[in-house]
Amino acid sequence: MNLRVIEGGRDAGSVSGLLVTGASAIASLAGGLRRGAAQDDVGLFDAAVVGGLGSPDAPVLACWEGRVVGVGPRATVEAALEAAGLPVARFARIDARGGLVTPGLVDPHTHLLFAGTREAELRARQRGASYLEILEAGGGILSTVAATRAASDDELLDHGRRWLDEMLDHGTTTVEAKSGYGLDLPTELRLLEVAHRLGSEGPVDVVPTFLGAHAVPAEFRDRPDGTEAYVRHVIGVQLPGVAAQGRARFCDVFCETGVFSAEQSRRILEAARPLGLEPRLHADELAPSGGAELAAELRAWSADHLGAPSDAGIDALAAAAEGERPVVATLLPTTTWFLMKDVHAPARRLIERGVPVALGTDFNPGTSPTPVLPLVLTLAVLQLGLTPGEALTAATVNAAHAIGLGDEVGSLEPGHAADFVIWRVPNVDQLPYWPAADLARIVVKRGVVVRERT
């Protein structure tokens, strides 16, 4: 396989190898999921501590045919490449110009695909309306559902491309994308198919998640048993259809007081698993509803939001973290911010209890319309008390594990995808320090330069 490489704005021709030099530091995030004190360890190779950029021990990143083959001190990596029969002279060079290099960011929680916008809800919230009040009044998710059902596949594809493009601009190279604005089988299948197509087009990888249980749709709401009838519809009609289609990798449920109970969420997720759809959960976003406990019990891949978990829920996640595959706590601070709430997810308690923490944008038209994952890092530092290192871990290796791709993306180590970002800042602390700034200078996906700013 030969890869096209654009170097310095010029096409460098087809080459198989890429060598990134001139980095002030490389945060490899190598070594797997991190929790507890290790969440702050970004696997840093720092030029300053080995004699500067000119030193033979200055860090480099080597990639071959879209995969990482070496990261670490230049002399060591180059010797290893030669020994492996990969002559360094045949590698295209990228000069990081004193910038930080990290893995491509992984956004483990988005509602990428929808139609319409909901800016009017900002004014309603300013007048004091709550999220659930807006939903009860037929706004919120339901207005997006109506617009999404009416949208064509091409409209959804164009929308998806536009926002994936912006995510990529800010360094995100892998995205989880939930359905959940169809709430009927045909539209849910269309959303999953569009998500799959977008991922196939590239360059951003897209992991589709089925979220039929996102809200109770209008046609079920007038019935006295509406929520229960819709749960049966999700289990009996939507899940088999989604499984037969074969696009979704996960099943998610919005487990929240006034939406789906923990018991209903359990039934849906337990029906999904034998169909090959692994569980993840919107848990305790607004109030404790048993979501964290359920995520721990089912060994879900992640428990998301966790704005208000119970003490028992945190205990359950801490106990699950001792197991072979911990439940990742995926926190979404831009949502709290955009909803103008001042109660934040207990991030420090989760980390201190050994629960691995990830961060996502929750990109959606109602409660977090931002594609900018580095902004999430800023809020995680300012509002959740994470260190910049903990936040970077949360948006790379831990996020990758939360969507089942920990062996493929989210860290720079031999065999993993050559997905990385060269930033216009020299150290990890500066990533959250410039809120929403354009910090990604070069973005590489599977060894190919897909973004370059001069």
Q: Which residues bind Zn ion (CB under 5 A)?
A: 362
Closest distance of CB 278 from Zn ion, Å: 17
Nearest CB to Zn ion, comparing residues 346 and 360: 360
Q: How many CB atoms lie within 10 A of CB 339?
A: 18
Closest distance of CB 308 from Zn ion, Å: 15
Closest distance of CB 305 from Zn ion, Å: 7
Nearest CB to Zn ion, comparing residues 109 and 267: 109
Nearest CB to Zn ion, comparing residues 43 and 307: 307
Closest distance of CB 358 from Zn ion, Å: 13
Closest distance of CB 111 from Zn ion, Å: 6
Nearest CB to Zn ion, comparing residues 107 and 362: 362
Q: Which of 406, 338, 419 is nearest to 376 (CA)?
A: 338
Closest distance of CB 367 from Zn ion, Å: 8
Q: CB nearest Zn ion: which residue? A: 362
Instruction: Round to whole Å and give the CA distance between 417 and 177.
Output: 20
Task: List the structure tokens of 421.
Answer: 């970002």
**Terminal C-alpha separation, the chain:** 28
Nearest CB to Zn ion, comparing residues 283 and 386: 283
Task: List the structure tokens of 177.
Answer: 């994308």
Residue 269's contacts (CB-CB under 8 Å, 6 or more residues apart) are 251, 253, 279, 281, 294, 298, 300
Task: List the structure tokens of 47.
Answer: 């030029």
Nearest CB to Zn ion, comparing residues 362 and 413: 362
Instruction: Round to whole Å and give the CA distance between 202 and 197.
Output: 9
Closest distance of CB 109 from Zn ion, Å: 6
Instruction: Round to whole Å and give the CA distance between 194 and 154.
Output: 9
H or E segment and range at residue 317: helix 311-321
Nearest CB to Zn ion, comparing residues 112 and 417: 112
Residue reference for tokens 């809020």: 379
DSSP single-letter state for residue 426? S
Residue reference for tokens 């045909």: 186
Task: List the structure tokens of 188.
Answer: 């849910």
